[in-house]
Homo-oligomer: A and B are copies of this chain.
Amino acid sequence: MTRENAAAMLTRADTPGPLYFEDFAVGQVYRSGTFAVDTAAIKAFATQFDPQPFHLDEAAAKGTLFGGLAASGFHTAALTMRLLVDGGAPIAGGIIGAGLDELRWPRPVRPGDVLHTESEVMEKRDFRSRPKEGLVKMRTTTLNQNGEAVQVMVANLLVPRRVG
């Protein structure tokens, strides 16, 4: 997929930004725009990063656990990141993850799926070694056009505090 195609398939998020540590509250939910996944994108990612038959070839995928062509889980993760960067998690200074507590793929992403993310603030914590920042634990669920979860990710994000 070209950069232009990717941009054309994105819609804007309905969340404001940029947000600082003080702006987040437990229970808040941020929603991203959408992204349409096609066969070419699934195969292009798989060719480069996850060249296994169920991500590369429709016929070969039929006989596997997936029962048909499915996106690599790390492709789903990468697309989720793109949705977050494009407005799904409007954090001041960008989205910087200290790490993930969990990453699950309850069902595969298929060609034609249209994805969006919903991110809920689970916890806020001070970050002792970095007084200018705080940790926000956020659970981001990536959903397809039928409202089915294709990925659940719990991330610890480094979020700057307002100065002064």
Contact = CB atoms under 8 A, between A and B. Distances in A.
Nearest to A6: B48
A128 to B, nearest CB: 16
Interface stretch (A19-27, A50-58, A111-119, A137-145): A50-58
Interface string A87-108: 0000001111111111111000
A99 B102 CA distance: 8
A59 interface: no
Interface residues of A, number: 38
A158 B50 CA distance: 16
B73 A74 contact: no
A99 B105 contact: yes
A78 interface: yes
A122 interface: no
12 contacts: A48-B78, A50-B85, A53-B94, A64-B93, A73-B97, A75-B78, A77-B77, A97-B105, A98-B104, A99-B102, A100-B100, A100-B103
